Copies of this chain bind each other. A is one copy, B any other.
Amino acid sequence: MGPGPVNAHPRVLRAMSAQLLGQFDPEFTTYMNETMALYRQVFQTRNRWTFLIDGTARAAIEAALVSLLEPGDAIVVLSAGRFGLLLREIAERCGAEVTMVEGEWGGIVTPAAVEAAVARVRPRVVAAVFGDTSTTIAQPMHEIGRICARHGAMLYLDATATLAGMDVPVDEWGADVVTAGLQKCLGGPSGSAPVTISDQAAARIASRRHVEQGIASGADRPAGGRRIASNYFDLAMIMDYWSERRLNHHTEATTMLYGARECARLVMEEGLVDRIARHRLAGEAMRAGLQAMGLTLFGDQAYAMHNVTGIEIPDGVDGERVRLRMRVQFGIEIGSSFGPLAGRIWRIGTMGYNCRQDTVMATLAALEAVLRGEGVRVPSGEAVDAALARYASA
C-alpha cells in the first residue's frame, strides 16, 4: 500500500509466465500491434504512435525529452515536487535551456505563472507531471494544454502515477507526448513504459531520424535534423521497430510486453470510467478513515490524487518505526517521501490491484493499532467506520 510499485494483478503475473516468442514471429508482432491498440484506449488518444519503451517509467521520460529536445532548445518545466525536479534534471542533461515554474510542494503551479513563462521564453516544449507521487498532488492540465496551443509549444506530460487511475484524456488536453509506467494504477511490474506521441511530435522526431549504419538500406538517408543524443531512447528508430517495417532496434522485452498487454486488457475489460471511479472511491474512503483517526492530510486537498494519499506524521512520532511495524506486524508497506518531505509525511497508495475495499480497511485498522502501540491517542474503530460509510454511500 505504498506509492508504487504495488502488488501486480495475478493475471498479469500469469501472462508474464508464458514462453517467449521470437521478436519477428508473426504471433509476437501481432501482440505488439494489439498492445499499441490497447494503449490508445488507455491514453484516450487516436495517436498512431502509441507503444512501449523497454525500461522503467523514467526511461520513457528520457526518451521523450531527448527525442524532442536538442542542445540549446528552450523548455518550460512545471514543478511542485520531486518528479517535477526530475524533468528539469533530464532536460538539463539533454542540453536544453530550462526555465522552471515552481509551486509549493503540496500545491500546484498556477496557469498564470506558466503562461507568463511560456510567453517570455517561447519554448519548444512545456513539461509537467500529472500526479507527482512525492507530494500526492495532481496538477490540473486542461489550461496548460490551452496555453501550449496558444503559444505553439509542444506539451510533454508524465502520467506515470495516474494513468488508468485518474482521467488522462491525452487528445482532449492537447498533450503531444505522454508517458507512464506499469507499477502504479496499471497494476503491473516496473520495467515497461507506455508512451503516446502526437503527429506533431512524431514529425519533429522524424526530422531527426538517423538509422544505424549496420541496418540502414539505401533509402534510409539521415533526415536533416540533428541526430538524437541517445541510441536506446531514439524514438525515431523505436517507431521504425514498431512500424510494419520492423526495422530492428533493441530486442523487445518479450515478458514485459506480455505484462503490459495484460495490464491494458484488464483496464479495458473493467472500463476506464469504472476503473477511475474505483480509484476515486478508494482514495476518498482512505482519506475519510485517516481523518477520522485524527490525522492531518498533506497538501491542497482540492488537487489531491485519487490513488495516493499524503498524511503528516504527528509530532513526536517516529515515522520509520511506524512503517516498520506496519510491514513486520501487518505485512503492509506504506511509504515516506523525499527531500523536504522525508520524515514529514507518510504516503499510502490505493492503486491498481491494491485499490480495493478490503485493502483500504486492513490498512486503516493496522495503522490505528500501530499508532496506538506507539503511544498516539487514536479513537478506536472510527477510521474503519468512516471508510465503511464512504463505501456504503457510493
Residues of A whose CB lies within 8 Å of any CB of B are 2, 4-8, 13-14, 16-20, 22-23, 25, 54-59, 62, 66, 81-83, 85-86, 88-90, 92-93, 134, 181, 183, 189-192, 212-215, 227-233, 248-256, 259, 327, 333, 338-339
- Name 10 A/B residue pairs within 8 A (Cβ), A-sorted: A13-B17, A16-B255, A17-B17, A20-B183, A58-B231, A58-B250, A92-B227, A189-B253, A189-B254, A248-B338
Q: Which residues of B contact A4 (CB under 8 A)?
A: 251
Name which residue of chain B comes closest to A323, CB basis: B24
Do A20 and B2 touch (CB < 8 A)? no
Do B251 and A5 touch (CB < 8 A)? yes
Q: Which 8 A-B pairs have the closest CB atoms?
A: A191-B253, A82-B214, A85-B214, A17-B17, A189-B255, A56-B250, A190-B251, A55-B55
CA distance A259 to B212 in the complex (A): 30
A6-B20, A7-B20, A230-B93 are known contacts. Are A214 and B338 too (CB-CB below 8 A)?
Answer: yes
Do B214 and A339 touch (CB < 8 A)? yes
CB distance from A163 to the nearest CB of B (A): 15
Determine which of B2, B18, B253 lies in contact with A13 in the assembled complex, contact meaning CB atoms within 8 Å.
B18
CA distance A57 to B90 in the complex (A): 22
Q: Which residues of B contact A214 (CB under 8 A)?
A: 81-83, 85-86, 89, 134, 338-339
Do B93 and A229 touch (CB < 8 A)? yes
A93-B228, A231-B58 are known contacts. Are A2 and B16 too (CB-CB below 8 A)?
Answer: no
Q: For A14, A66, A231, which residue has the most chain B Cβ atoms within 10 angstroms?
A: A231
* Copies of this chain in the oligomer: 2
Do B252 and A190 touch (CB < 8 A)? yes
Q: Which residues of B contact A252 (CB under 8 A)?
A: 56, 190
A20-B189, A59-B55, A255-B16 are known contacts. Are A212 and B86 too (CB-CB below 8 A)?
Answer: yes
If A85-B212, A255-B256 are given as contacts, then 15 extra A-B residue pairs at C-beta distance below 8 Å, sorted by A number, are: A7-B20, A13-B19, A17-B17, A54-B59, A56-B250, A57-B251, A58-B231, A66-B230, A89-B213, A93-B228, A181-B251, A190-B250, A191-B254, A191-B256, A255-B255
CB distance from A10 to the nearest CB of B (A): 8
Do B20 and A17 touch (CB < 8 A)? no
Name which residue of chain B comes closest to A57, CB basis: B251
Do A25 and B191 touch (CB < 8 A)? no
Do B89 and A231 touch (CB < 8 A)? yes
Do B213 and A54 touch (CB < 8 A)? no
CB distance from A67 to the nearest CB of B (A): 12
CB distance from A78 to the nearest CB of B (A): 14
Name which residue of chain B comes closest to A340, CB basis: B214
Do A25 and B82 touch (CB < 8 A)? no
Q: Which residues of B contact A338 (CB under 8 A)?
A: 214-215, 248
Determine which of B8, B86, B89, B233 lies in contact with A20 in the assembled complex, contact meaning CB atoms within 8 Å.
B8
CB distance from A55 to the nearest CB of B (A): 4
